[in-house]
């Protein structure tokens, strides 16, 4: 894969809201050392803020206002948290290999579904498509297991949950397809005011 293709893949996989990592190659040695010291300070402040230290929380806010990308070193985005929870449900405790394989498979899927040069909205929808696909796989597995040991009522509940997950998945796919079809700019009329949304 060429360096430009690799950059495009990284951009497509970058979570929505992530400002992207800094260009360390363009930073001086002193700037890199300062960044490392800031990360260490953030870790200390984070530990204190989790124990209710309000001053530490304010200091975290000041640091992140100047370097928002550092927030992603400490907290995963909501989509990643949900994805991790689903992966944990689908894999056995302690099966770290399956967790890694599945995590990287989903990352590759997000890049492929987002396509070339995706907009922020397309990347957001690609995340949704992959997340709902994972949800469908989980409920499919639970339904298959329940068929052997569950009651008719439990079986019916699992089937309904699977059907709802499948509808959400198809809805995400349709929405992404519609946004692609509409092109780079989508006009939305809200209360007779025209808004241009980047597709």
How far is the C-alpha of 133 from the C-alpha of 130, rounded, in Å? 5
Counting DSSP H helices and E strands in the chain, the numbers are 8, 2
How far is the C-alpha of 110 from the C-alpha of 129, rounded, in Å? 8
Per-residue b/e over 113-138, b at no fewer than 16 CB within 10 Å?
bbeeebbebbbbbbbbbbbbbbbbeb
What count of residues does the chain have?
199
Residues 70-89: tens digit of each pLDDT: 887 776 566 777 888 888 88
Higher pLDDT, 152 or 173: 173
How far is the C-alpha of 38 from the C-alpha of 64, rounded, in Å? 10
Residues 114-168: tens digit of each pLDDT: 888 888 888 889 989 999 999 999 999 888 877 777 677 777 888 899 999 999 9
């Amino acid at each position: 894969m060429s360096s430009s293709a690799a950059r495009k893949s990284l951009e497509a996989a970058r979570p929505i809201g992530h400002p992207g990592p800094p260009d360390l190659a363009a930073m001086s040695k002193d700037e890199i050392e300062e960044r490392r010291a800031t990360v260490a300070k953030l870790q200390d402040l984070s530990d204190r803020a989790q124990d209710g230290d309000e001053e530490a929380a304010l200091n975290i806010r000041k640091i992140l206002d100047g370097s928002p990308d550092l927030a992603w070193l400490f907290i995963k985005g909501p989509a990643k948290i949900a994805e991790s929870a689903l992966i944990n449900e689908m894999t056995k405790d302690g099966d770290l290999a399956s967790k890694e394989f599945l995590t990287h498979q989903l990352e590759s899927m997000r890049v492929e579904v987002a396509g070339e040069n995706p907009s922020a909205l397309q990347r957001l929808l690609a995340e949704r498509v992959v997340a709902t696909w994972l949800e469908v796989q989980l409920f499919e597995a639970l339904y298959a297991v329940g068929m052997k040991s569950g009651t008719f009522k439990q079986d019916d509940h699992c089937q309904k949950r699977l059907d709802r997950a499948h509808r959400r998945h198809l809805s995400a796919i349709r929405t992404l397809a519609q946004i692609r079809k509409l092109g780079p700019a989508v006009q939305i009329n809200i209360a007779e005011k025209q808004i241009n949304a980047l597709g």
